[in-house]
Amino acid sequence: MSAVPKIVTSRREYADSYTLERYKTTGGFDGLKKALSMTPEAVCAEVDAASLLGRGGAGFPAGRKWSMLRKSDVSYLVINGDESEPATFKDHLLVEHDPHQLVEGVIIAAFALQVTQAFIFLRGEFALGLERVQSAVNGFYAEGALGSNILGSGFSLDIVVHPGAGAYICGEETSLLESLEGKRGFPRIKPPFFPAAIGLYGEPTVVNNVETVSNLPWIVLNGGSAFAALGEGRSTGTRLFALSGKVRNPGVFEIEMVKTTFRDLIFNPSLGGGVTGSGEVKAIIPGGVSAPWFYPEQLDLPLGQDEVADAGSMLGSGSIVVMDTSTCMVKAAWRITRFFSRESCGQCTPCREGSGWLERILYRLENGQGRMEDIDLLLDLCDNIAPGLTWPPQQTTICVLGPSIPSSIHSAISRFRDEFVAHVTNGGCTHG
């Protein structure tokens, strides 16, 4: 593991990692200079060779997303930094600690795509991150690395840093574009499934995640094949994993894909350092709260896109929450469901009404007013939102927020039905 490079967290050890001075003395601009000396096609080819999967949650190959836009004319690049999936905090690290790397990555992507303007959309709650990324953008302009004729290359680009205003749904890319157009964050009806066809202001647009583009300076400098040599199968390179919940050392870890298991991540002394509370794992949420849960028997699964998908869940946003055996599963499912209920945009009935109904049932179970028939009612309602309760879920709504709601409830009841029953017979939660 020692030979694995830090691709996006190389400056993390420096207290001043966010400053232009530190950036310049640690290889800043190198990837950009190299990219500008190449043709846009060659830069795209390196990203294709890297097989870089999008790091936002869906895990779509970045190169393929780009190729949808390459033939078009006017277009925008929008960076999704609306990181709001519960327990996901990797982009937070990147925007606060290495904003220049992000901006460099954005320019490289824009050059490869030959887009005319780029926007970095950051969730409004990242006040410090917004200030640091704006400072970085200012620094790039001052260095001639942004604006007209970037570093004498004949390529011009403007980047605008855009603050969100607090809405989980804006992480959904079509909702993000609506928000960037100054509207409520209502996801758009699909198809088209990708904004590459009809994006910002109806123009072809690529939306990439903060971590995805932060990989680009390294990929351009070291070559796509060096990136692809890390990891295994479809999961290439390293990835940031955000570990939280009942672990000794919660935090963000940059790890080579597939080569580490959930068990390593949670128990390795240099990573998670073991489970707190009871010391034993009861369940883990492998990829954000939209993902079906895993249990102790899945701990030896590798942290890889397909490996996790084949086991019936998703690596999603790379956030892993550990729940120990003292955790109340009803309460956990309730809190996650309440989140979805609050953040549902309200466009689609199954999500808007379903999430609130589910939340109220879970609340009464947790607080002693539950009835035995509530348990099957929960599953029945979940089945109405995502018919068949399959994974990946069936879609009854405009976006995937609705069909993500059943994951935690279905996981909790399937595995811990006895706990739900006990909440009814004991008149509420006894977990204290």
Partner 1 sequence: MNHLTPEMRTRAEKLVALYPEPRSALIPLCHLAQEQDGYLVDDAMIEIAEIVGVTPAEVRGTATFYDMLHTDSVGRYVVGVCTNIACLLAGGDELLAHAEASLGVRAGGTSEDGLFTLEETECLADCDIAPCVQVNHRYVRTTTPEALDSLVAELRAGERGEEIPPHGTLIRVERTVGLEASKDTIAAERATARAAAAERATVEGS
Site for partner 1 in 280-309 (CB under 8 A): 285, 289
Q: 10 Å Cβ neighbour count for 17?
A: 20
Phi, psi for residue 239 in degrees, rounded to 5: -150, 150
Contact call for residue 271 and partner 1 (CB under 8 A): no
Cβ 167 to partner 1 shortest distance, Å: 5
Stretch that binds partner 1, among 36-44, 227-235, 300-308, 356-364 (CB under 8 A): 36-44
Rounded-to-integer distance, Cα 214 and Cα 193, Å: 24
Stretch that binds partner 1, among 21-29, 179-187, 354-362, 424-432 (CB under 8 A): 179-187
Size of the site for partner 1 (CB under 8 A): 78
Please say which residue, 30 or 131, places its beta carbon nearer to partner 1: 131
Chosen residue from 130, 196, 412, 424 binding partner 1 by CB under 8 A: 130
Chosen residue from 9, 29, 85, 402 binding partner 1 by CB under 8 A: 85
Q: Where are the alpha helices (DSSP H) in 344-405?
A: 349-366, 374-385, 401-404
Chosen residue from 244, 261, 305, 355 binding partner 1 by CB under 8 A: 244
Contact call for residue 164 and partner 1 (CB under 8 A): yes
Question: Where does residue 116 rank: exposed (0-12), middle (13-18), buried (19+ CB within 10 A)?
Answer: middle
Cα dist from 235 to 20, 91, 145, 178, whole Å: 32, 19, 32, 31
Please say which residue, 181 or 380, places its beta carbon nearer to partner 1: 181
Q: Which residues contact 408 (CB under 8 A, 6 or more apart)?
A: 285, 289, 293, 332, 333, 336, 337
Q: How many residues does the chain have?
A: 432
Stretch that binds partner 1, among 59-67, 155-163, 188-196, 223-231 (CB under 8 A): 155-163
Contact call for residue 218 and partner 1 (CB under 8 A): no
Contact call for residue 118 and partner 1 (CB under 8 A): no
Q: Where are the alpha helices (DSSP H) in 90-214?
A: 90-97, 99-113, 127-142, 173-180, 210-214
Task: State the residue for tokens 């200012």.
Answer: 138
Cβ 133 to partner 1 shortest distance, Å: 9
Task: State the residue for tokens 């070559």.
Answer: 223
Contact call for residue 278 and partner 1 (CB under 8 A): no
Cβ 356 to partner 1 shortest distance, Å: 15
Rounded-to-integer distance, Cα 411 and Cα 417, Å: 10
Contact call for residue 183 and partner 1 (CB under 8 A): yes
Rounded-to-integer distance, Cα 190 and Cα 170, Å: 16
Chosen residue from 160, 189, 229, 372 binding partner 1 by CB under 8 A: 160
Question: Where does residue 107 rank: exposed (0-12), middle (13-18), buried (19+ CB within 10 A)?
Answer: buried
CA angle 36, 42, 48 (to 5 degrees): 120
Chosen residue from 55, 123, 239, 423 binding partner 1 by CB under 8 A: 123
Contact call for residue 154 and partner 1 (CB under 8 A): yes
Q: Hey, which bits of 278-402 come out as E strands?
A: 281-285, 319-324
Contact call for residue 114 and partner 1 (CB under 8 A): yes
Chosen residue from 137, 145, 207, 399 binding partner 1 by CB under 8 A: 137
Contact call for residue 88 and partner 1 (CB under 8 A): yes
Whether 297 contacts 284, CB under 8 Å: no
Contact call for residue 181 and partner 1 (CB under 8 A): yes
Please say which residue, 130 or 230, places its beta carbon nearer to partner 1: 130
Checking DSSP bridges between strand 117-122 and strand 158-163, what pairing results, if any? parallel
Cβ 234 to partner 1 shortest distance, Å: 27
| C-alpha radius of gyration, the chain, whole number | 22
Chosen residue from 185, 237, 370, 403 binding partner 1 by CB under 8 A: 185
Please say which residue, 28 or 164, places its beta carbon nearer to partner 1: 164
Chosen residue from 16, 21, 192, 201 binding partner 1 by CB under 8 A: 201
Contact call for residue 351 and partner 1 (CB under 8 A): no
Cβ 338 to partner 1 shortest distance, Å: 9
